[in-house]
Amino acid sequence: MSGAAGSVALVGAGPGDPNLLTVKARRRLDEADVILHDALVTPELLGTCPDSAEIVDVGKRPNSNGGRLTQAEINRLLVRATRGGRDVVRLKGGDPYVFGRGGEEAEFLAAAGVDVEVVPGLTSAVTAPAVAGIPVTHRDHASCLTVVTGHEDPTKAESALDWAALADTVAAGGTLVVLMGVGRLPETVATLRDHEVAADTPVAMVEKATWDAEYTLTGTLSTIVERAVDVGIEPPAVTVVGDVVDVRERVIDASQSVPARECADGTAGRLRSDGGSR
């Protein structure tokens, strides 16, 4: 990434655990002059960045003045950060091209004449269920995976999602994964039920996957909303709907029937049954 002109790498940070960075992502971070990160990048991961790099939080949350950085402001900041030939990493949770607005940023940078590279990351749509013991596909349960956002652009006149088709997919045994959907969980559940998805369809919510505070909640379409309120599920959390959720209990039973192995980073090598306590 070195050179006189400066450049931007859109880097996927994965779900949060620094050990799940790709080799290329690690290299780009180590070479960066400036790192602009979003709100979902964990302090543990940021702590592995070089001391020489300028680190800027551009997460779309209220700042000290009560305002928020807009996407347009972030785009302009990326271009300015490359001045003087600096190499910039735009560090995003998960994968930059899976509901991460990476496509929009790549288009803006290209139009501004800035060299841009995309470094894919592990998307939470797959990794969050996986660390909770839930395979998103399974020969005996699901041959189809659909990933949707639970937080569509509020300026849209109507939803771009075909909920009738999504319901048909789940009813036929497919897996539905909803990202950024905690706030609209009641509406999502109600819509699936309105389209005749069975009330006993399994559902899981995986909060802060691979973080120290990871927590997994399971239920059904008839119970998950109340249970999520009871335990206080908060973003970021991934919601999984479909028969594959039931695999979790069998995997956990097997995992806990043998002593936990300690991983190289000192963490337990077996699945946690509840992901934590509330």
Q: Which residues are catalytic?
A: 38, 60, 180
Contact by Cβ (8 Å): 233, 209: no
Q: Residue type for 65, please?
A: N
Distance from the Cα of residue 60 to its chain's centroid:
15
Contact by Cβ (8 Å): 243, 202: yes
How many whole angstroms separate alpha carbon 254 and alpha carbon 42? 30
Q: Which residues contact 142 (CB under 8 A, 6 or more apart)?
A: 136, 173, 174, 175, 242, 243, 244
